[in-house]
Amino acid sequence: MAKKRKSETKEAETIEVKKKKKREANEKKLVNGEIETETETDKKNRKKEQKNKQKKEISTVSIAVPGSIINNTQSLELATRLAGQIARAATIFRIDEIVVFDNKSSNTDDSSVVMVEEADDDETGAAFLIKILKYLETPQYLRKTLFPMHNSLRCVGTLPPLDAPHHLRKHEWGPYREGITLKEKSPDSTGTLVDVGLSKNVVIDETLEPGIRVTVAMGTDRHPEMGHLHKVVPSSMPREDVGLYWGYKVRYASNISSVFRECPYTGGYDHAIGTSEHGLVIKSSEFTLPAFRHLLIAFGGLAGLEESIEEDNGLKGKDAQKVFDSYLNTCPLQGSRTIRTEEAIPISLQYFQEPIGRAMQQLEGGNALR
């Protein structure tokens, strides 16, 4: 037995010596350039690993519109219809953020923003527009809970639905659904019950306060057991995971300066475009956008962006063409003397489709998401 162990030990040592000699020989060849550092398989595996480790970043497109356009409408019904047109255009063209700005000369603090967004009887045009935009973006089954009865919402029933991917019907299944946390406890007292618009509520694996809107990963099982725990994910996950457009965010800005200064994206907007009849005329096919992570397209009101810039203390006296990286007329040779903002938005967003597409191809070889 001892001789056998001794023989095995000697054999193992011999194998180790051979491995060492092979390593030394390869190192010598490597120094002399006789072999490559990686095989093709190794290269593919390494690239695959790097790609998986890289977090996909969503490239965004934001639009900025003046709340003053609501003040020019003659009735609640017309004001509601105008807001609905903007919401529809934003959804059709996959807009990520709508910034509603005022023409205030001074900056507002956080409390002022809250007052604007929660204005009641004497609400401003910006407050009204924000409320309708948020209401329309919300899935139908969540609206009753998230939006109490309000005079501003009297005519929303006449508007066409956005029919966005996250506005799922009760019979439709999707890998993600929007939901709202409930007061009721789950049967096993674990997690939180969430209404996601199905015949049965689902349970998430964390404890949250009631009345919070959340994005829930539904998994692959269309009929999960009641005890199955779902996960709450960031609202960006549906697009990162399966490329689904998941609605727009709405933000208030007191003036043009605040549109830029309070940008929620790290590093701000990479490229800002102003639209005006006084802007440069370039064919869509000839207009080139630089590769961007976050793009802003701004629209003016009755008197255009020029008036909004003039009334902003931070920009007063500045040439509108110098406030933006690009200043364009997206509808030259117009037959009407005026193009209303709600008309200019879809016209311009269609104009920018091709330039945005080309810029996206430049960005990381087209790996960024839109």
3-state secondary structure of 195: strand
AA identity, residue 135: Y
User: Whole-angstrom Cα distance, residue 272 to residue 291?
Assistant: 12
Bridge partners, residue 285, by sequence = none
3-state secondary structure of 276: strand
Burial 271-295 (b: 16+ CB within 10 A, else e): bbbbbbbebeebeeeebebeebbbb
Please give the pLDDT value at position 8.
54
Q: Are the C-beta atoms of 148 and 175 separated by less than 8 Å?
A: no
Domains, in order of start, for the chain: 60-164+247-365 (3.40.1280.10), 176-235 (2.40.50.140)
For 309-312, the CB contacts below 8 A with 24+ separation are 309/256, 311/103, 311/104, 311/105, 311/255, 312/103, 312/105, 312/255, 312/256, 312/257
Token reading at 202? 């689902």
Please give the pLDDT value at position 171.
86
DSSP label of 369:
B
Helices (H), 38-139: 40-53, 76-92, 110-117, 125-137
- Which positions of the chain have pLDDT values less than 50? 30-31, 34-37, 50-54, 110-112, 114-116, 119
User: Whole-angstrom Cα distance, residue 321 to residue 328?
Assistant: 9
Please give the pLDDT value at position 22.
66
Q: Are the C-beta atoms of 101 and 258 separated by less than 8 Å?
A: yes
Query: What is the per-residue pLDDT across 121-131, written as a single tens digit (0 to 9) for each?
Result: 568 899 999 99
Q: At what angle do helices 76-92 and 125-137 cross, to 10 degrees?
A: 50
pTM of the model: 0.81
Closest CA to 66 of 302, 348, 343: 302
AA identity, residue 160: P
Query: Where are the strands (E) in 254-341, listed by range?
Result: 271-280, 294-298, 326-328
Query: What is the per-residue pLDDT across 163-198, written as a single tens digit (0 to 9) for each?
Result: 999 999 988 889 999 999 999 887 766 789 999 999
Query: What is the per-residue pLDDT across 64-120, written as a single tens digit (0 to 9) for each?
Result: 999 999 998 999 999 999 999 999 999 999 999 999 999 886 555 544 454 445 545
User: Whole-angstrom Cα distance, residue 112 to residue 110?
Assistant: 5
